[in-house]
């Protein structure tokens, strides 16, 4: 009776051992895949929300080799910090009586998803409100990260009330209705001198707005994080040594 019992137990132990090894290897494989895989958009954007736009701008200059930040004219309607994926819209200047002239713009807004950033080019639109409270409400309801308007913005009190962040070239009471026509969405645009393509990463904070080409997003983030870390480390050194020269000497960052 003993021998048959052993024969039954040994295969069971072997099965359990093999199963355990397979399970451990499976967890190891998943961990390796997770460690080596590219960040998805959500985690990438979350990381960008924790770096300063100034560091992103510096990183872009080194990696992309050109200016990718907007000018001092592009300012927030209230203090804001966000990162998201560009959804672009272009309006061309055209006097018209067409009630459907801006329908494409409205459809584009309704196509946006969570973490979209509405990036609008308004031809010669510094004194034209490219968006206002109604459009901002729709974007907020669809969980947009924010909006960047190469033109003006209006209904600012309401946008502040609902807490929807907008950067624009100015605050004006005018309208684009009858003065502009929808020229396209998810097309390349130029926003305050910076080329923006659909899907680019847009980051904004108190220092301004920068645009990260999607192909360079991971490299730019990694360098921006390094620059942030070095700069933040220098504050304590400067306070202790009372010398910025000493801090630069120790950290090598200015």
Domain boundaries, the chain: 44-220
Least confident segment among 135-144, 156-165, 168-177, 243-252: 243-252
CATH code for 44-220?
3.50.30.40
**What pTM, to 2 d.p., does this model score?**
0.82
Overall average pLDDT of the 217-236 stretch: 92
Question: Is the per-residue pLDDT at 9 higher than 70?
Answer: no
Mean pLDDT of 73-101: 98
| pLDDT of 13 above 70 | no
What tokens appear for 101 in the block? 């002239």
Confidence of residue 231 (pLDDT cuts 50, 70, 90): confident
The answer to whether 180 and 122 are in contact (CB under 8 A) is yes
Mean pLDDT of the chain: 86
Question: From residue 161, how far is each of 114, 145, 155, 158, 227 by CA, in Å?
Answer: 20, 16, 10, 5, 35
């Amino acid at each position: 009776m003993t021998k048959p019992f052993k024969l039954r137990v040994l295969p069971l132990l072997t099965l359990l051992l093999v199963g355990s090894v397979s399970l451990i290897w499976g967890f190891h494989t998943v961990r390796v895949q997770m460690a080596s895989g590219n960040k998805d958009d959500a985690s990438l954007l979350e990381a960008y929300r924790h770096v300063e736009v100034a560091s992103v701008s510096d990183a872009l200059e080194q990696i992309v080799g050109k200016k990718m930040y907007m000018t001092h004219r592009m300012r927030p309607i209230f203090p804001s910090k966000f990162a998201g994926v560009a959804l672009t819209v272009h309006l061309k200047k055209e006097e018209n009586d067409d009630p459907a002239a801006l329908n494409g713009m409205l459809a584009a807004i309704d196509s946006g998803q969570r973490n979209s950033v509405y990036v609008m080019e308004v031809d010669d639109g510094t004194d034209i409100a490219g968006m206002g409270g109604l459009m901002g409400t729709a974007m907020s309801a669809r969980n947009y990260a924010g909006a960047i308007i190469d033109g003006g913005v209006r209904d600012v009190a309401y946008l502040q009330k609902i807490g929807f962040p907008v950067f624009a070239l100015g605050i004006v009471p005018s309208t684009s209705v009858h003065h502009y026509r929808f020229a396209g969405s998810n097309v390349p645009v130029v926003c305050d001198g910076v080329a923006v393509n659909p899907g680019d990463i847009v980051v904004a904070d108190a220092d301004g707005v920068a645009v990260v080409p999607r192909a360079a997003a991971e490299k730019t983030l990694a360098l921006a994080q390094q620059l942030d870390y070095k700069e933040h480390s220098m504050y304590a050194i400067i306070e202790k040594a009372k010398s910025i020269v000493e801090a630069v000497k120790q950290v090598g960052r200015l």
